[in-house]
Amino acid sequence: MVSRKQNDLALLLLRLTFGGAMIYNHGWGKLMRLLSGEPIKFFDFMGLGPELSLGLATFAEVGCSLLLILGLFTRWAAIPLIITMMVAISTNLGEGFGQIEKALLFLMAYVALQLTGPGWYSLDAQVRNRG
């Protein structure tokens, strides 16, 4: 039987791993591309334009991942990440499972965190327990 403390530790590890990996491997490069001033070549999501699409993906992959790591507004922060991973999966569906596997793994981690919340080792829990 898993104790509450073990469950909270598992949620912390999930947040740190998937939030940190998203920023390091995906979001940081997008942020640098946005700040570089170079012409933007990016997927044009729903006709929003490549600039806005890149901006939204960067917001999710950097901003929301940072919130996830901190455990702050966790359930809300997971929503843009879930949407971003669903877009990543849908744009690569015809390319085989290997192309969508990573996005699918991130998606499931974000869905799990959206459903469970951040656990005790989070700013959300600390704020909630003060009030």
12-18 average pLDDT score: 98
pTM: 0.92
The per-residue pLDDT for 21 is 98
Helix (H/G/I), strand (E/B), else coil: 43: coil
Residue range 91-119, pLDDT digits in tens:
999 888 989 999 999 999 999 999 999 99
Q: Can you tell me the distance from the alpha carbon of 95 to that of 98, in angstroms, rounded to the nearest whole number?
A: 8
The per-residue pLDDT for 131 is 62
Exposed / middle / buried, residue 22 (Cβ in 10 Å: 0-12, 13-18, 19+) = buried
The per-residue pLDDT for 40 is 83
The Cα angle at residue 6 between residues 86 and 109, in degrees rounded to 5: 5
The Cα angle at residue 55 between residues 81 and 108, in degrees rounded to 5: 10
Any alpha helices (H) in the chain, and if so which ranges? 4-22, 28-36, 50-58, 65-70, 74-91, 97-116, 123-130
Q: Which residue ranges make up each domain of the chain?
A: 4-130
pLDDT at 46 over 90: no
